[in-house]
Structure 1
Amino acid sequence: MTATPTTHRAIKYPAAIRMLHWIRAVLILGLIACGWFMTGRAEDSPLAAVLYPNHKQFGVLVWLLAVVHLALRRHYRAVLPHEPKSLKPWEKWLSHIIHRLIIAMTLLTPMLGYAMSSSLPDGDGVPFFFLSRVPEILPKSETAFSVFQTLHEYSAYLLLGLIVLHVAGALKHRLEDRNGETDVLPRML
């Protein structure tokens, strides 16, 4: 009698985490694209009057979803899938670092955007959908605004770079690794 080969079947993340992952991915990539587009336009243009407030409120939403993500990971920690055993040690290390940095940057980047908008002299604040405005807690300062603007921009680029590495890693395991045991994409689908 011959043994049948075992097929690797990925344990999936809970549905709430999978759904939140893809919603956050779309929102973050949309916000980065919107940021590039709107900063290339005159701030007093009619299009900017639509883009800037929406960029701000969706940025707040990304921050809130990052907090929800952390709460869900904590809630489901006992059933979250572990990394495949066949991953090399450096791949496990890099994966952990990139995931943690992505989570940190999805918290930090919107906070820097909030700080930028909140510190802008004569700014119009940060709207959030049905709420009138997110409370502003920072003093108005052109210098602070300039610093937060630079930090927000660089943090968005860093977040984008981390996302590229995250996607590249998932695609590498999906397309290049031969054994199929390192294919992590099905866990998030």
Structure 2
Amino acid sequence: MQISITNSTTRYGWGAIILHWLIALIFIGQFGLGFIMVRLTSQRTAFELIQLHKSFGFLLLGLIILRIAWRLGNAAPALPRSVGILERRAAPLAHLGLYAFQLALPLSGWALVSVSMLEIPSLPFNLFLMPNLPLAESDAAESFWASAHWYLAYAGMALVVLHVAAALRHHFQLRDGVLTRMITPSSEDSAE
């Protein structure tokens, strides 16, 4: 049996699975890192964590763009027949919301560093200089983008919690295989 990189009609392939879990890990890790870095008393440690947070933010932005492109070119497996009509309609909206927040959050962070009066360059993983977005620097703009980034982070995490709760409900209560198809990839020679 050969494992497939693409999705089948009933399971996700390695491409979607790797992107899903990598993005999930970074997204949740970024929330934790952001929560810690703004509460530190050591300015040096806070600065280093902010640089790391920015690096992972740019990585997340690239990965979510890749994930969306992958999703557009690779249809998601159909939901099991046991899934009700309301949930069938809500699932695509929930996924769209997750994608939107995963895009908006790093973009708002990029906007924040772009308008900052501190003018600290962004050097993702110390590999290259990331240019700022063409936005005017000002204290008011920095305050706006800082608030937007904060609210997006908490709203995004709320969506993640709902997503995880739904997946666990499918796995433990409904036992319909919705979660396992994002863990075990499709195979090219499986009869589906």
TM interval, short-chain normalised:
0.7 to 0.9
TM-score by length of 2: 0.86
Aligned to 2:188: none
Instruction: Determine if the alignment matches structure 1 residue 158 to structure 2 residue 155.
Output: yes
The alpha carbon displacement at 1:136 in A equals 3.8
Match of 2:57 among 47, 56, 59: 59
AA in 1 matched with 2:39: G
Aligned to 2:80: 84
The alpha carbon displacement at 1:35 in A equals 0.5
Question: Where in structure 1 do 4 or more consecutive aligned residues deviate above 3 Å?
Answer: none
TM-score by length of 1: 0.87
Q: Deviations over 1:122-143 (max 9, x none)?
A: 2303222311233342111100
In 2, Cα distance between equivalents of 1:56 and 1:85: 42
Aligned to 2:36: 37
Aligned to 1:4: none
Give the conservation status (yes or no) of the 8 Å contact 1:117–1:123.
yes
Q: Answer 1 or 2: higher relative contact order, Cα 8 Å, separation at least 6.
A: 2
Identity of aligned residues (%): 29
Aligned to 1:21: 20
Instruction: Determine if the alignment matches structure 1 residue 93 to structure 2 residue 92.
Output: no
Give the conservation status (yes or no) of the 8 Å contact 2:60–2:106.
yes
Larger radius of gyration: 1
Instruction: Determine if the alignment matches structure 1 residue 48 to structure 2 residue 46.
Output: yes
The alpha carbon displacement at 1:183 in A equals 2.7
Aligned to 2:181: 187
The alpha carbon displacement at 1:83 in A equals 1.4
